Amino acid sequence: MEANTETERQQEDSINIRSNEIDDILGRKPAWILRRGVVVLTFIVISLLIASWLFKYPDIVTATVVITISNPPEQIIAKTSGKIQTLLVTDNQFVKKGDYLAIIENPAQIEEVIKLREIIAQYDTLVDINLIDSIEITNIANLGMLQSNYQAFLQAIIDLKQYNELSFNKKIIEKLKNQVVLIKAYNKKLKSQENLQKEILNIANKQYKRDSFLLGGGAVSESEYENSKKMMLSSKSSYEGASITYINSQIQLNQIEQQILELSLTYDQEVKQYKDNINTTYRLLQASFNEWESLYVLKSNYTGRVSLGNYWSTAQSVNVGDVVMSIISDDITPPFGKVVLPMQNSGKVKVGQKVNIKLLNYPYTEYGVLKATIKNISLAPEQGNYYIELNLDNGLTTSYNKKLDFLQEMSGIAEIITEDMRLLTRIFAPIKTIIKENT
């Protein structure tokens, strides 16, 4: 047993000796390792700092974008609920501005309303209401809410025509005007007669003066002198009579013309009342017609082609606010982007910056992105957003050189590339902010 104890003691001593030897080896740190390690570490740190200073990459601001055109499709929206009474177009049909596309169910008959529409259009272009007879205005029925206003308009026109036909003042004026024509012709002859009598009087005066002179020299007898004087006085009387007759006729003419003026003033005032009534009833008719059109008529405000949606036949029911169809203009303009940019980070966005557009319709991993440039930025925000207009640098050709088909109102994500920032600046920016906040 003592032998075993001795053996164990020898083994422990041997282990302790070996441990001390290992500690001696590990405890010695060669100088060349320390020197090279420090150099390598320093080189790595400096390299990282230089790289982070030299390496720049852009800051990106994202926002929603819609690709559209300056004349986007016109959405034809129902203003009232009901069934489609008449569908006047087919899909892809060419229509002009103002054309009727469909009629929503209402009491008025479309054929009668179209007649009324033509009358209104003719009246709008009427230069003078006195030419109203040039418009063929007839009694139209089945106009629904327009009927009463049209009847009032029609009656106002009939009243004016009847007044023009039956007016007592108008008839008197016409007769007096005829008298004026006759009196003027009569006065012209009276004036000629007056001038003739004046010439006769001048001759008689000359003869009287000669006989008066000769009487003093005894060349003519007293009897001849008296005859000459008598002729002169008779001519003078005839001339004055002709003058008085002419003056009296001229006075009569002036009186008739004054009477015509007074009657014409009365007549014009009465006609004006009838015309005013026509214009008043017309404005009411036009207002009610516009209201009817707004409620029940779907019409085009642009020239283009019809694109039918969920409504393609009569008797289909529509509700207020439903988009019944669209009008796509044939005059296609180059597409552009409209960006809605929230106020956050909006200060980084400037005109002229580049933009990458990723469309939802065309996955960018397969089709690429559209390249664009900021053209305009709204001066003030609306409802917390700025609105940006983008020019598409290559149209609808993507970065993968793929030509995309234009689809109305294509939406996507706009990545606005702002100024480049160094990686080192990005690393230390949060630290700098924390230091400033704590000092």
Q: State the Rg of the chain over Cα.
A: 54
Do 352 and 266 lie in one domain? The reply is no
Contact call for residues 318 and 96 (beta carbons, < 8 A): no
Q: Give Cα 143 distance to the centre of its chain.
A: 30
Distances (CA, A) of 64 to 61, 72, 380, 387, 431: 10, 18, 18, 10, 32
Between CA 341 and CA 414 the distance in angstroms is 9
The 10s digit of each residue's pLDDT in 90-99 is 998 999 998 9
Give residue 359's domain range. Answer: 333-438
Do 275 and 213 lie in one domain? The reply is yes
Q: How many separate domains does the chain show? A: 3
Give the mean pLDDT of the chain: 82
Mean pLDDT value across residues 106-111: 90
Q: Is residue 265 part of a domain?
A: yes
* Angle made by CA atoms 47, 53, 55, in degrees to the nearest 5: 95
Q: What is the pLDDT of residue 1?
A: 46
Split at pLDDT 50, 70, 90, the class of 35 is: low
CATH assignment at residue 339: 2.40.30.170
Least confident span in 152-156, 208-212, 299-303, 424-428 = 424-428
Per 3-state DSSP, what percentage of the chain is helix, strand, and coil (rounded to 5)? Answer: 55, 20, 25
What backbone phi and psi angles, to 5 degrees, belong to 385?
-135, 150
Environment class of residue 114 by beta-carbon count within 10 Å: exposed (0-12), middle (13-18) or buried (19+)? exposed
The 10s digit of each residue's pLDDT in 39-89 is 777 777 777 767 666 666 667 888 999 998 877 788 899 999 999 999 999
CATH assignment at residue 214: 1.20.1270
Between CA 152 and CA 158 the distance in angstroms is 10
Residue ending a domain, among 299, 320, 348, is: 299
